[in-house]
Amino acid sequence: MLHIIFVILKILGILILILLSLLLLILLSILFVPVAYRIKGSKNAESGLQGQVILGWMFGLIRVAAAYKDGTSSIKVHLLGISLETYKKIGQKLKRKKKHSKKVVPEGKKTLEESAAEQNPEDILHQSKEEDSRTGEGARDGEEKKSQENEKLSALQLFFQKISRLIGKLIRLPSRIIQRIKKIQLTLRRIYDKIRQWKKFLRDENTKEAFRCLKENAGDLIRHMLPRKVKGYVRYGFDDPALTGQTLGAVSMILPLYKSGFQVIPVFDEEILEGDVLLKGRIFGFVLLKAAWRVYRSQSVKKTIRKFQHKEA
């Protein structure tokens, strides 16, 4: 008996170890297997604007592709190399097979269609006519009663009622105006108090330190997510040649990061925009986790969040 218990415990221990190993493998894959992206776009007089964005993880086991062409966009998702549309078609086929299985109706019980068919059409027509006549008579009686009640009210009574209502409105008008003015004053005071609180909150040294921390980590993330490879060309031009030159100067500061794989061709005598661009890059999960951990561990960020929550409450 003890031998059997030990065997069962051994099997359970092996299963738990396998599950933990799988979880560890998934966690390491999320952290150290990058999400690769590929962005391709082109624009010219013949084909117009076209674009494609592809995201892939685990060497293409999970793949998302978004495309834009001829004014239409599309998104496709692939899992294990199979598109979601294929999975949907398989599911629809299974549902159709279940629907084709016929339901057996017990003997002695009639369906709603059969019971309705057994009724005499003339009886149904007669019943509907009787119901229509009853409703019509009731409506006529109600209209006659309403007309009699309206005739009882004289024109003089209606005139005095209108006068009394107008006088009541005129009496209540000053108090309503005063209430509206008070509400406007309270609203302006609240807005002024909010502005003062926000100024105090933003000028606080702790808040400034928190924003510096967020700015540094955001900069690191942006630098990490920038494309590692850029190819293609862009040919552009504006109405103002000076603006074209200024744009060329700004772009020239970025081009050295990508060596000579990308060309920018300015056109000073024509307004034009065309090109063909290919961007490739990757994003590691551990970099995102590292930035999030830095923000979470920052005391200035924690204090700023607590102050913000207290201020909003």
Domain co-membership, 254 together with 195: no
40-92 confidence digits (pLDDT tens): 999 988 878 999 999 999 888 899 999 998 889 999 999 988 888 888 888 88
pLDDT at residue number 112: 46
Do 216 and 197 belong together in one domain? no
Q: Which residues have CB under 8 Å from 171's CB, separation 6+?
A: none
Torsion angle defined by CA atoms of residues 158, 159, 161 and 165, in that order, rounded to the nearest 10 degrees: 140
Is residue 124 a part of any domain in this protein? no
Distance CA 54, CA 40 (A): 9
Structure tokens at 244: 């074209």
Domain boundary among 78, 93, 108: 93
The model's pTM is: 0.65
Do 42 and 65 lie in one domain? The reply is: yes
- Region of residue 59 (phi > 0: left; psi between -120 and 50: alpha; otherwise: beta): left
Q: Above pLDDT 70, what percent of the chain? A: 80
For residue 56, what pLDDT is reported?
94
Note whether residue 24 is domain-resident: no
State both tokens at 240. Answer: 């103002």
Mean pLDDT confidence for 238-243: 90
Whether 262 shows a pLDDT value over 70: the answer reads yes
Q: What is the pLDDT of residues 123-136, one digit of tens each?
A: 555 555 555 555 55
Residues 39, 64: contact at Cβ < 8 Å? no
Query: Do residues 45 and 78 both lie within one domain?
Result: yes
Three-state secondary-structure class, residue 208 = helix
Interatomic CA distance for residues 64 and 55, integer angstroms: 5
> Among the listed ranges 37-41, 115-119, 124-128, 262-266, which one has the minimum average pLDDT value?
115-119
DSSP class of 103: P
Cα-Cα-Cα-Cα dihedral sign, residues 32, 33, 35, 40: positive
What pLDDT score was predicted for residue 5? 87
**How high is the mean pLDDT of the chain?**
82
Domain membership of residue 175 (yes or no) is: yes
Q: Which has the minimum average pLDDT: 171-175, 229-233, 245-249?
A: 171-175
Task: Establish if 19 belongs to a structural domain.
Answer: no
Q: Which two tokens stand for residue 31?
A: 């952290």
Residue 101 lies in a domain: no
Q: How far apart are CA 224 and CA 169, in angstroms?
A: 69
User: Which structural domain range is residue 76 located in?
Assistant: 33-93
User: Would you give the DSSP letter of residue 231?
Assistant: E
Domain total in the chain: 3
